[in-house]
Amino acid sequence: MRAGPPGPVPTATLGCVLVTGLLSMLLLGDGLALNLLIVAVPATLAAYFAARTAGRRPRPWSLTWAVGGLALLVVPALRDAGWPSFLAIVSSVALASLALHGCRTWPGVLLSPLGIFDSILRGLGWGWRGVRERAGGARGAGPVLRAVAVAVVLLLVFGALFAGADAAFADLLGELIPDASLSGSPWRVLLLIVGVVGALAAAHTAAAPVRWDRLVVKRGRARGRVEWALPLIVLNVLFAAFNAVQLTVLFGGYDSVLDKTGLSYAAYARQGFWQLLLATLLTLLVIVFALRWAPRDDPRDRRLVRAVLGTLCALTLVVVASAVRRMDMYVEAYGLTRLRISVVGIELWLGAIILLIMAAGVWGARWLPRAVAASAAVGVLAFGLLSPDGLIAERNVQRYEETGKFDFDYTRQLSADAVPALDKLPEPQRSCAIKPIADGLGTERGPWYATSLGESRARRIIEARPPSVAPGVCGTGSVDTSYSSYR
């Protein structure tokens, strides 16, 4: 599956690798925000030049993965919350691996991230050979690379000395360029190494990718019609019966829930959400194994497969809608939390996968692996752009206005993204909700490249109206303890 060894590393790739390492050293030591996107741009260019020299032309899907990976890195620049940013960074790495490998099959989509790790040591040797070839000559790129390296070292050393000698000059440098003081040198050297190694691994992968698409998963032995279809038909009947109950009970309103179940509105919603989420996941596994053993020699068999699995997918969509509706009912009763918004997002994504499977049954399944990967990336990007912490705070502020109940303990776990919504609370509830977030931010501002838009907005609000409450006030008042009972 390995491609042949790549040719000599291009000079443009070496230059982009050096820029990536320097930017990593200077920008990534203060946190992750816009700096992550800035560092990713030269690394992307390094891979592009390496692929072009190796004769690989960018295809539409590869360009889509590359643009999507860079777009996902906008999330840390916008949001202060760490959990959507983490999902965005992991998804960005996955899309980058797809762009570098150009995979189309299920094994390729699932295994392509391993190709980048496979290229770490190979990329280092490849880059070292390229540097040695150029460093020995008196012409070409060797003198330029040596001159740039010497200039960078001189700037760092004398810039740090002058900054330590004059406070005014230090302030000027602090506003224009990142901190290059000697105090954090070991950490910055590590970041330099990580940036160089990562960019070289990406470039080597682009020049000589692992051919994951050549992995072939043998299809299972086709079963007879009765052996294959009977269990699925029985399952369809069970799904249909359950969905009939859901349509009459769950979507019939509050009175219908009380009459038919004897439970409260929220208790009924809480009772079955997790079971329905698990049922959706198991249905996807059933579809996978059913397709593996499906009869496929006769046109009638293929029509049977489409009919049975299409019906199962359609009935599963009703289960997805029921699960989402149950969680919506529970949120109406007890408010929105990170767990609740996360599992609803997962359930909606599973519903999107089922729709894609239904479309593949009509138009073919060659595009399905890439479409599923794209749907996951779009979901993560949308999740980050929606600002989940801000949405949680906004929904719970609305609930406070309607019921007078608010969980201040849970609010302390939210990030600075929640401050604009919490700012709408009346006093002293506003100060009680914002003060823990303000204390977490502190008074010292980070550099522009390591400060998210969410943190910047929160600081402006806090500076305009600092939270101020008397001691003991935030420990009293109406706190809905039932809100915290299901996180």
Query: Could you list the pLDDT tens digit for every one of the 487 residues in the chain?
Result: 777 788 889 989 998 999 999 899 888 888 899 999 999 999 999 999 999 999 888 889 999 999 999 999 999 999 999 889 999 999 999 999 999 998 889 999 999 999 888 899 999 999 998 888 876 654 555 566 667 667 777 777 777 777 667 777 666 666 555 655 545 567 888 898 999 999 999 999 999 999 988 888 777 777 787 888 899 999 999 999 988 877 776 666 556 665 666 666 666 666 667 788 888 899 999 998 888 888 877 788 888 889 999 999 999 999 898 888 888 878 877 788 888 899 899 999 999 999 999 999 888 888 999 999 999 999 999 999 999 999 999 988 988 888 888 888 888 889 999 999 999 998 888 988 898 899 888 888 888 888 999 999 999 999 999 988 765 667 544 444 333 433 3
How far is the first Cα of the chain from the last one, in angstroms, to the nearest whole number?
46
53, 61, 66, 115, 285 from 57: Cα distances, Å: 9, 11, 13, 19, 36
Please state, in angstroms and rounded to a whole number, the distance separating the CA atoms of residues 455 and 419. 9
Calculated CA dihedral for residues 10, 11, 17, 18, nearest 10 degrees: 160
Please state, in angstroms and rounded to a whole number, the distance separating the CA atoms of residues 456 and 416. 9
Give pTM, 2 decimals.
0.85
Amino acid 339: pLDDT: 87
Angle at 138 between CA 136 and CA 139, to 5 degrees: 110
Amino acid 484: pLDDT: 40
Rounded to 10°, the helix 254-261/265-292 angle is: 80
Amino acid 479: pLDDT: 41
Amino acid 225: pLDDT: 79
Residue 289 has, within 13 A of its CA and on its CB side, a CA count of 9
Q: If DSSP codes are grouped into helix, strand and coil, which group holds residue 2? A: strand
Amino acid 133: pLDDT: 81
Amino acid 238: pLDDT: 92
Residue 402 has, within 13 A of its CA and on its CB side, a CA count of 10
User: Greatest CA separation found in the chain?
Assistant: 89
DSSP string, 74-142: HHHHH---HHHHHHHHHHHHHHHHHHHH---SHHHHHHHHHHHHHHHHHHHHHHHHHHHHHHT-SSTHH
